[in-house]
Amino acid sequence: MAKSRFQYVLPDHRVEYGVEVDIDSLKIDEEAQRGLNPKRAKSIADGLIVDALGSIVVSERADGNRYVVDGMHRSEACRIRGLRTIKAEIHYGLTQQQEATLFLIKNRESAKVSTLDEYRVGLTAGDALCVGVDQVLKSHGLGLGSSSTNSVGAVSAVLRITRQYGPEILDRTLKVVETAWGRDKESWDGVILGGVAMFLSRHGSSIDDDELGKKMLKRGLAARWRSEALTRASNGGYNNSGTGSRESQCYQMVVECWNKGRTATNRVG
């Protein structure tokens, strides 16, 4: 297979998180992303749960115009429902080409329903991995398969963490992220869970989970963690911006948090 000519690299630039933007002010550049599917937007609008919308991704260009990079159908669904504003992650100073790169980075991986189906069937069949995951999730009052305050949508990440590190690390990972950000769908992001699990698997014997969670909160909210891990990974180019690289970057961020304020002898590395 020929090597891809695309390099998913973004320059350092200013990003603001959780900004309320006027939906009617948003524009769409179909050269920088896919076109709007009205049927999909209408379907989202019909079942819209405002509290579960999350943030869309917007680029503010030099002329002040704002273009939707990711979340076009959610913003259109809100417009259909008569909402005036939506929360956004705003990127400043990007060119049209860089907006397209950001779109590709944000949309590289889609949720695989078959993974959830395999988990459900495996649970019914008594598969040890699936049963272990189910027991840990139930102990936290969590479900698996959709992103919400009480359900983890990152099915593949949860299964991979348990397979690689065991159910104890999954249990501790969930405790840490809930200590940091509470029960919010952003807390259960797969990249964050993977990075925290990697950290606990390597350094868990000397880590206080409550202290770790509180230190992570001081660095920022979960949405910011994910965006920073993604951006740091994408700056390594096409071959370094997949899920594994994002989790590794998140792991490094956890290391940085834990080490902050500690003496050299008490740091992990």
CATH of the domain at 69: 3.90.1530.10
For 155: left if phi > 0, alpha if psi spans -120 to 50, otherwise beta; the answer is alpha
- Which one has a higher pLDDT value, 124 or 22? 22
pLDDT of residue 217: 97
Average of per-residue pLDDT across 223-238: 83
Query: Residue 26 falls within a domain, yes or no?
Result: yes
Please give the residue range of the domain that contains residue 58. 15-106
Closest CA to 72 of 102, 109, 28: 28
Domain boundary among 83, 106, 129: 106
Tokens of 169: 């690390």
Question: 59: exposed, middle or buried (C-beta count within 10 Å: 0-12, 13-18, 19+)?
Answer: buried
Query: Residue 48 falls within a domain, yes or no?
Result: yes
Percent composition of the chain: helix, strand, coil (DSSP 3-state, to 5):
55, 10, 30
CA atoms within 13 A on the CB side of 175: 16
Domain count across the chain: 2
- Same domain as 121, residue 72: no
pLDDT of residue 244: 73
**Those residues with Cβ within 8 angstroms of residue 193's Cβ, 6 or more apart along the chain or in another chain:** 152, 154, 157, 158, 161, 173, 174, 177
- Same domain as 170, residue 191: yes
pLDDT of residue 130: 87
Asked whether residue 78 carries a pLDDT value surpassing 50, the answer given is yes
**Helix 155-165, helix 128-139: angle, nearest 10:** 110
pTM: 0.57
- Distance between CA atoms of 63 and 92, rounded to whole angstroms? 11
- Same domain as 144, residue 92: no
- Same domain as 152, residue 259: yes
* CB contact at 8 A, 184 and 224: no
- Same domain as 176, residue 74: no
Domain boundary among 106, 131, 152: 106
- Same domain as 251, residue 152: yes
- Same domain as 198, residue 119: yes
Tens digit of each residue's pLDDT (9 = 90 or more) over 133-177? 999 999 999 999 888 889 999 999 999 999 999 999 999 999 999
